[in-house]
Chain A
Amino acid sequence: MNEKDFEKIALEWAIIEAERCLYCFDAPCEKACPINLPISNFIYFIKNKNFKSAYELVRENHPLISIAGCVCPEEILCQTECTRGKIDKPIKIRELHKFLTEYFCDNKNLSLPEYKYEEVAIIGGGPASLSCAFYLRTFGYKTVVFSDTELGGIPLKEISNLRLSDETLKRDLDFIKENFIFKFVRKRVENLNEILNSFKAIFIGIGLSDEIELEVLGKDKEGVFKAREILRKIKRGEEIKFGERIGVIGGGNVAFEVANTLKTLYPDKEVIIIYRRGLTDLKCYPEEFERAKKLGVNFYFESIPIEIVGKEKVEGIKVTQVSLKEKDKDGRRVPKLIENSEFIIPLNNIIIAIGQKLEETIFPEIQKENGLIKVDENFMTNIKGVFAGGDCVNGGDTITRAAKEGKLAAFKIHEYLRRI
């Protein structure tokens, strides 16, 4: 099948799927979408074969639309709310969205206002920052983006090519870089004072770059890695030498991303997820768990690591089993050690994926709470004119949520600047 044929099939599929959409008024799918994409409208446009206009609608409403089409966890967002699901099956909204961005990417004929306002600084180059830059530009601001790495953030550095191709990524990044960013400064801003005088407003969207360490004995042994470090290496195509049995510690999306990527790249190796709570406590998207099961990832639930064993290299992990009876104040079940239940899971490598945190020393002048940047309802930090959003504020969620916070912050910045 050549590419043209494939496109044709996608087209037919999209129309048939779009015809199932009820075109709900005040559609619940849109309300469930963190960035409120005009879903019912773009689907209605697809149904009428008006693909280009459909693409324009999504593009105008989401700066990282191609990326979101690939990685948005639609089953926990728009699709769960789809009215059609009450009749038979929900509309495959993300697939339609992806279809649009793959086949109808057309960024010509953009209409942007003249620059009419001052420069705004944006620190960080991930989804929240890019989204903030996008909307500020549409209001007429010049945005100056500071980032010590290439623009793109987690999607660029860590989401595996298996889920998000370079080509898709490039579509969004080029679109934003070319049209919405006035100046890109490749520089690490560590202290706000460096730039505080040059800008009336600053947005911080630096994400969470540090990883939480697993406090166990033997954590420095050879063969122990951090999850995002592994993801970055894979993304860069670096060769990593793994043994036959790889343990991944954690139960969130990053743990599953690592496990699923490794199992896909090395189907012959054994990949085991070790998680201290149970199946029902997993923090990953159901879709990722299903994917892991299908790929043949193994699981040890209710097991808390207490020591990484081995001479110099990892040979295994000693875990204690727990019982999960009582709940804490958030309703989460608290793991309680079961005495004399220790055993060793033999492993050649261990990947730690128990969470991310803000760099401890970054922006000492900014108030933090629970290791995250603290903002008020206007996304403003304790320093006037300094705003923040995305993972560094919300603790790490979807790309679409980060984009949404960047968007909301842009509105607030506009409000703030036009009022002072």
Chain B
Amino acid sequence: MFKLRDLSIEFLGITLENPFILSASPSTDELEIAINGLEAGWAGVILKTTSVEDNPVPLKYPMMSSFGNYSKRVLGLGNIDLISKYHIDEVEKRVKILKEKFPHKMIGASIMGSKKEDWQNLVYRLRKAGVDIIECSFSCPQGSMGEAPGRMLAQSVQATEKVTSWVKEAAENTPVLIKITPQVTDIVEVAEAVKRGGADGITASNTIPSLLGIDIYTFEPYPTVFGYSSYSGLSGNAIKPITLRTIAEIKRNVDITISGNGGAYSSRDAIEFMLVGASNVQFCTLPMVYGFRVIEELKRGLSHYLDEMGFKSPSEIVGKTLEKIKTNEELIILDFVKAKIDEEKCVGCELCFVSCRDGGHMAIELKEETRVPKVNEEKCVGCALCMQVCPVDAIKIYERKINIEHYYIRK
């Protein structure tokens, strides 16, 4: 009923109707499911990573486990999935069907190969099928095929550059995205290699190698395949801070288009990804957990945000935050940074007291008469631990000399 603003955004020459894409995942691994996703309003899909016909894909089930608190909210998902069991012959057909059915949506496909001719073959065939964009999985935590199986391609700068150039050579004008991993010593080096290899953009990033948990009664690690497990790829909200840093770090150092991916769980998260430089945001775990219907929150949330902030188009927010990210040395040192408690707001839990006592600088004192604690300015260094624990945001940090207050609502 209410009108949404125009959310379209350009991405490597493709016009996306909104910045939200379904990433290579189970949600894009069946034709019918992918169709449902696009019909629900997602701007595009990247079909789950495919390979050449003779590449075996030995899937193990069960393959999923989750991470969260004990009330079982899924904050993170861990999977030991591999690439799609569908090979390129099937994916070619799907690209054609999808392109025909959704001419205005972005139909992308993800590939993984071992030899040069495999990578290039996959590209030729997808191009012929009419794909809009090709993403290369260099970062499946279950490992790549080829020269160093078990290791992620994007963990090697040389291999990244080399394989990227193979792919780009074959892709010609079709845009190529390289999907990297944050699990490297220097993400900038990898991004530079991607650029040197000639790719059009980077998907930053992917799931992160992890061990999801252990059943303390049977000693079985999760996700347990009838008693045994291996490391799994962690996705979902739990990895959002890592992805944010990855995108920011690439964008600050390398001039390349970025598709943000890994941990976005809401319109706010997506906006954050864009603020550090992503041109669009891919989602996997969120729709896997709650369904495609979450696209409504993403679209409406972004639309209202743009209105509220007076932006005309989503592209205007891309990279807005970057200039505010500095190195530690570059940050200024202020000398009168203190905590201040808003007595009106305080509900008297005294959590600030106990955390400052045991993890701050013993600067918060209890008062006899009320439960509203008091900051001892002599002792307070303004570390802001208290501000993090306050359940009602009653604590601000201020600097007296230059008279500024700093205060944020916890996400």
Residues of chain A touching chain B, judged by Cβ–Cβ distance below 8 Å, are: 12, 15-16, 19, 22-26, 28, 47-49, 83, 86-87
Contacts and interface: CB of A to CB of B under 8 A. Distances in A.
A22 B70 contact: no
B57 interface: no
Contacts of B347: 83, 86-87
Contacts of A15: 70-71
Interface string B38-52: 000000000000000
Interface in B71-95: 71-72
B196 to A, nearest CB: 49
B71 A83 contact: no
Contacts of A87: 347, 391-392
8 contacts: A22-B349, A22-B351, A24-B348, A25-B351, A26-B366, A47-B70, A83-B347, A87-B391
Given A22-B391, A87-B391, A87-B392, A12 B351 contact: no
Contact of B353 (A23, A25, A47): A25
A12 B70 CA distance: 8
A24 B350 contact: yes
Interface string B336-351: 0000000000011111
B371 interface: yes
A12 B71 CA distance: 6
A353 to B, nearest CB: 39
A25 B349 contact: yes
Interface string B319-351: 000000000000000000000000000011111
Contacts of A25: 349-351, 353-354
B173 interface: no
A19 B71 contact: yes
A307 B351 CA distance: 60
The 8 closest A-B pairs by CB, nearest first: A25-B350, A25-B354, A86-B347, A24-B349, A22-B349, A16-B71, A83-B349, A15-B70
A46 to B, nearest CB: 9
Given A26-B366, A28-B371, A19 B350 contact: no
Given A23-B349, A23-B351, 12 more contacts: A15-B70, A19-B69, A24-B349, A24-B351, A25-B349, A25-B351, A25-B354, A48-B70, A83-B347, A86-B348, A87-B391, A87-B392
Interface of B: 69-72, 347-351, 353-354, 366, 371, 391-392
Nearest to B390: A22
A12 B72 contact: yes
A53 to B, nearest CB: 14
B340 to A, nearest CB: 19
B71 to A, nearest CB: 5
Contacts of A16: 71
A19 B71 CA distance: 8
B286 to A, nearest CB: 21
A382 B71 CA distance: 55
A22 B394 CA distance: 15
Contacts of B354: 25
Contacts of A22: 349, 351, 391
Nearest to A16: B71
Contacts of A23: 349, 351
A93 to B, nearest CB: 15
Nearest to A48: B70
A25 B371 CA distance: 10
Given A19-B69, A47-B70, A26 B351 contact: no
Nearest to A47: B70
A12 B392 CA distance: 26
A17 to B, nearest CB: 9
A86 B348 CA distance: 9
A23 B72 CA distance: 20
A19 B347 CA distance: 18
A137 to B, nearest CB: 34
Contacts of B349: 22-25, 83
A14 to B, nearest CB: 10
A15 B70 CA distance: 7
Contacts of B371: 28
B411 to A, nearest CB: 18
B283 to A, nearest CB: 26
A48 B87 CA distance: 45
B348 A28 contact: yes
A47 B354 CA distance: 19
Contacts of A24: 348-351
Nearest to A19: B71
Contacts of B350: 24-26
Nearest to B357: A25
A404 B353 CA distance: 29
Nearest to A11: B70
Contacts of B366: 26
Contacts of A28: 348, 371
A83 B348 contact: yes
B70 A49 contact: yes
Nearest to B392: A87
A37 B269 CA distance: 41
A349 to B, nearest CB: 49
Nearest to A13: B71
A332 to B, nearest CB: 29
B391 to A, nearest CB: 5
Contacts of B353: 25
A26 B351 CA distance: 9
A328 B350 CA distance: 40
A48 to B, nearest CB: 7
A83 B353 CA distance: 15
A83 B371 CA distance: 10
A28 B349 CA distance: 8
Contacts of A26: 350, 366
A12 B72 CA distance: 9
A31 B129 CA distance: 72
B170 to A, nearest CB: 52
